[in-house]
Amino acid sequence: MNLVRWEPFYGMENMFTRLPGFFGQLPQLGSGEYFDWAPAVDISETEGEYVFRAVLPAVRKEDVKVTYEGGMLTLSGERAYSEKQKDEKFHKVESFYGNFSRSFVLPEVIDAEAITAEAKDGVLTVHIPKTKMETKKLGIKVQ
């Protein structure tokens, strides 16, 4: 008999993260479009900028759209399904194909005109420079 370690939350985590169209990957509200999958995104911060790195394997940079509007950064596009292997019989496919979209609310202290994006080695990197925010000490009169 083999012992199997019980992980009480594994099934729930798997349900939330692996099934397309379930919880975190619902359609974008109000747009009428359905997004089939959502790429993983790492967000970091340095002294001068915010950096977003989206994992987009097998997605051409021509198929990716980065927009900023109303304080919201949106990464969207499509990973097309390729039928190159017509003589192959797939037993399991874990890769996601189709449209994707991720949106993030950005802080007000950014320079929207200087946002840049680059795609290399299956990773989309978006650089969002911060602006200098003056901090003044103000005395507020209590009435």
Instruction: Take residue 117 and report the two structure tokens written for it.
Output: 């994006």
C-beta separation of 102 from 75 below 8 A: yes
Q: CB-based contacts of 74: which residues, under 8 Å, 6+ apart?
A: 65, 66, 67, 68, 101, 102, 103, 104
User: Which CATH number do you get for residue 100?
Assistant: 2.60.40.790
122 within domain boundaries: yes
Give pLDDT tens digits for 28-69.
433 445 557 889 999 999 999 999 999 999 899 999 999 999
Structure-token pair, residue 43 = 């967000």
> Which has the higher per-residue pLDDT, 116 or 135?
116
Parent domain of 76: 27-81+93-129
pLDDT for the residue numbered 138: 72
Within a domain: 36: yes
Query: Which of these, 37, 41, 39, 78, lies nearest to 60 by C-alpha position?
Result: 78
The strand pairing partners of 100, in sequence order, are: 37, 77
Q: Residue 20: what pLDDT?
A: 47
- Write down the pLDDT at residue 4: 60
pTM metric for this prediction: 0.67
Question: What is the reported pLDDT for 28?
Answer: 41
* pLDDT at residue 27, rounded to an integer: 39
Q: pLDDT digit string (tens) for 74-113?
A: 999 998 877 666 678 878 877 788 899 999 999 888 999 9
Residue 47 lies in a domain: yes
